[in-house]
Structures are given as structure tokens and as C-alpha cells.
């Protein structure tokens, strides 16, 4: 990205995962050990993803494609979000999974991910491709995604011109971009401005603006952005949806009923990890990634 380039990046955490529910034992009995890092989305998780997609639509956002981590829960979440936004293209970026604790512990290259055929079966009626040339680290993958958004915006023939970028990933990824270990509900929606912080080395800075619940309730506000404030006002004025569906604001925690707080879960006793030490950015300061990031220790991932 050139030094003057910037891109609005919306990052959605996946919905409820099966191994964090009462159905975990039955799922474990049926699932090979090599695939236990990759639980599917629950029916409730699909509902949460649908609500998040509707919230993005109420914000007045539109996207031609969604960039997604290759796990089952993120793929299914992206599919439900895409259905609400009329998106017909999904780009699978393996490095967007590298922030999850299972990838940190085992190494992304050792994970038995779905094949492209299995991804297409899981997510029908949408075009799916794999970004094989994207970096394999999380911050590197985010920089690559931001560059795609910038290049598309500069192309006069591109329908992405002026559009933000949509990513579906994991809570650890949002934490790494923010540079803080914030409690995040399922299908939390976070907004950042991605801009070239060190174009010589391909580094991108991420300035945090807001985290919302799936239904549009504010979890945490970062650096003020007139465009984001305008979008939030649009939600407040839309069809009385706020009064009907929004959870109470939680200044620094998960909204009630939107998913578990960080901490060990029955299906994943060592699930959480702190944000990457490379990220800097609490209270709206930039968090930078150069695509080489280290791998902090952690559990199976959120």
C-alpha cells in the first residue's frame, strides 16, 4: 500500500462453536483427533451471524467479497453474513486463522483444514477461492487483505471502488489488531482503519474505532471517526431495532448472552491467549504488523 493509502476494515468474529456447548461430548466421539481443533458453527451461531450481517447492512455498508479464515466456524459465519449483504464471493485466506490458539500451538501448516470441495459443500451458492499467495501470519494476511482493498479502490473498473473490506476471523485476531485483551462476544464486529505505516517494509498500521455486538450494541469505542459515528446513528434510527434486539452496552466486556467471556471452556481447557506482543494500539493507537509476527503460546482458539 502506498504511504497515502488507507482502507476501512470491518472484522467479524465467528458465531457460537459446537465445542463450547452441551453437545461437545457427542461431537468429540464422532470427530477424529486431527479435526478436533475445527468445530462447526451451531444453529445459534448461524443466527448470530445472520444478525451481524443485518447490522452491517443497517450501517449502510456494502462489500463485493468477504475475506475469511479457513475454519468451519468462520466459513459458516461468513456465509450467513454474506447472505444478508448480497455478497457472492468468498476469498479464503489461510493466514487469517494463524491468530487462533490451535494454529499458534501446532503451526498453521500442520492443521488439517477443509479441502476446497468441502468448503464449497459447506457454503453453497457462493464463489469460493483460496488466496494461496497471501502471507501465512495473521498480521501479514491482514496487510495483504488491506492491499487488495486499496488496489480495488484505485481501479476505475472495480465495483469495490470506495468500499470497505470485510474479514471474518477469530477473537484473537481482533485483540491482536487492537493490542488489548478485550472480552469479545460471538460475532463481535470491529472496525479499524488500515493504513501504510512503513511502506518500505510493507507494514500496515491499524487504528481502532469501535467494537459492536452482533446486534449493534457498543462493546467499546476507540478513536472517533465521523463516518463510523454516522453509521452508528443510522442504527439508532433504524426501525426501532435497537430497543428490540440490542444488548446493553458493556464498556470493557462481553454483552450478556452474546458468547462466553475469555477463559477456559469445557471443550477447550486452554482456549484463550493474550494478544500478540507485536500489536500496539490500546486506546486507538496504531497496532502494526510486518507479516513476520511471532507465535505466542495459547489454546485452541476463539
| Span between the terminal Cα atoms of the chain, in Å | 29
Kindly tell me if the per-residue pLDDT of 212 is higher than 90.
Answer: yes
CA distances from 66 to 129, 167, 250, 293 (A): 11, 6, 28, 24
**Per-residue pLDDT tens for 23-77?**
999 999 999 999 999 999 999 999 999 999 999 999 999 999 999 999 999 999 9
Domain ranges of the chain: 6-289
Among 196, 154, 164, smallest CA distance to 6 is for: 196
Kindly tell me if the per-residue pLDDT of 264 is higher than 70.
Answer: no
Beta-bridged to residue 189, according to DSSP, are 12, 212
Cell of 204: 500496515
Task: Give the mean model confidence (pLDDT) for residues 184-201.
Answer: 82
Cell of 19: 465445542
CATH architecture of 6-289: 3-Layer(aba) Sandwich (3.40)
- As a whole number of Å, the CA-based R_g of the chain is 18
- Per-residue pLDDT, 13: 99
Beta-bridged to residue 41, according to DSSP, are 17
- Per-residue pLDDT, 256: 34
Confidence of residue 198 (pLDDT cuts 50, 70, 90): low
Confidence of residue 209 (pLDDT cuts 50, 70, 90): very high
Q: Are 114 and 121 in contact (CB under 8 A)?
A: no
- Per-residue pLDDT, 204: 83
Rounded Cα gap, residues 158 and 71, in angstroms:
29
Residue predicted with more confidence, 16 or 241: 16
- Per-residue pLDDT, 132: 95
Confidence of residue 272 (pLDDT cuts 50, 70, 90): very low
Go through the chain and tell me how many residues it has: 302
- Per-residue pLDDT, 299: 41
Q: Are 17 and 44 in contact (CB under 8 A)?
A: no
Residue 90: its H or E element? strand 89-92
Kindly tell me if the per-residue pLDDT of 183 is higher than 90.
Answer: yes
CA distances from 149 to 64, 65, 70, 238, 251 (A): 10, 10, 20, 28, 31
Cell of 197: 505505516
- Per-residue pLDDT, 298: 35
- Per-residue pLDDT, 34: 95
Rounded Cα gap, residues 171 and 154, in angstroms:
30
CA 85 distance to own-chain centroid = 16
Confidence of residue 154 (pLDDT cuts 50, 70, 90): low
Rounded Cα gap, residues 32 and 38, in angstroms:
11
- Per-residue pLDDT, 302: 82
- Per-residue pLDDT, 273: 52
Determine whether the annotation assigns residue 29 to a binding site. no
Beta-bridged to residue 193, according to DSSP, are 8, 207
Rounded Cα gap, residues 195 and 4, in angstroms:
8
Kindly tell me if the per-residue pLDDT of 276 is higher than 50.
Answer: yes
Rounded Cα gap, residues 145 and 96, in angstroms:
10
Kindly tell me if the per-residue pLDDT of 259 is higher than 80.
Answer: no
Rounded Cα gap, residues 24 and 14, in angstroms:
17
Among 159, 154, 211, smallest CA distance to 188 is for: 211
Q: In degrees rounded to 5, what are phi and psi of residue 273?
A: -145, 155
- In our burial notation (b when 16+ CB lie closer than 10 A, e otherwise), range 255-265 reads beebbbebeeb
Amino acid at each position: 500500500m502506498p504511504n497515502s493509502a488507507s482502507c476501512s476494515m470491518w472484522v467479524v468474529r465467528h458465531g457460537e462453536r459446537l465445542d463450547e456447548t452441551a453437545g461437545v461430548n457427542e461431537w468429540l466421539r464422532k470427530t477424529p483427533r486431527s479435526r478436533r481443533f475445527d468445530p462447526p458453527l451451531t444453529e445459534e451461531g448461524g443466527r448470530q451471524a445472520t444478525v451481524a450481517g443485518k447490522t452491517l447492512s443497517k450501517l449502510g455498508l456494502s462489500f463485493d467479497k468477504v475475506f475469511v479464515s479457513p475454519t468451519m466456524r468462520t466459513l459458516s459465519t461468513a456465509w450467513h453474513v454474506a447472505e444478508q449483504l448480497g455478497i457472492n464471493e468468498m476469498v479464503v485466506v489461510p493466514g487469517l486463522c494463524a491468530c487462533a490458539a490451535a494454529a499458534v500451538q501446532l503451526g498453521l501448516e500442520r492443521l488439517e483444514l477443509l479441502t476446497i470441495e468441502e468448503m464449497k459443500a459447506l457454503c453453497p451458492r457462493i464463489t469460493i477461492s483460496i488466496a494461496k499467495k497471501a502471507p501465512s501470519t495473521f498480521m501479514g494476511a491482514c496487510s495483504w487483505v488491506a492491499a487488495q482493498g486499496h488496489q480495488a479502490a484505485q481501479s476505475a473498473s472495480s465495483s469495490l471502488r470506495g468500499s470497505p473490506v470485510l474479514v471474518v476471523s477469530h477473537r484473537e485476531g481482533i485483540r491482536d489488531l487492537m493490542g488489548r485483551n478485550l472480552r469479545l462476544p460471538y460475532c463481535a464486529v470491529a472496525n479499524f482503519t488500515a493504513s501504510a505505516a512503513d511502506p518500505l517494509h510493507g507494514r500496515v498500521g491499524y487504528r481502532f474505532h469501535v467494537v459492536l455486538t452482533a446486534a449493534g450494541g457498543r462493546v467499546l469505542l476507540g478513536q472517533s471517526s465521523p463516518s463510523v459515528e454516522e453509521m452508528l446513528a443510522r442504527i439508532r434510527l433504524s426501525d426501532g431495532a435497537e430497543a428490540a434486539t440490542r444488548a446493553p452496552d458493556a464498556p470493557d466486556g462481553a454483552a450478556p448472552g452474546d458468547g462466553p467471556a475469555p477463559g477456559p471452556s469445557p471443550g477447550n481447557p486452554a482456549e484463550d491467549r493474550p494478544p500478540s506482543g507485536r500489536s500496539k494500539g490500546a486506546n486507538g493507537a496504531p497496532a502494526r504488523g510486518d507479516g513476520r509476527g511471532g507465535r505466542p503460546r495459547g489454546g485452541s482458539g476463539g
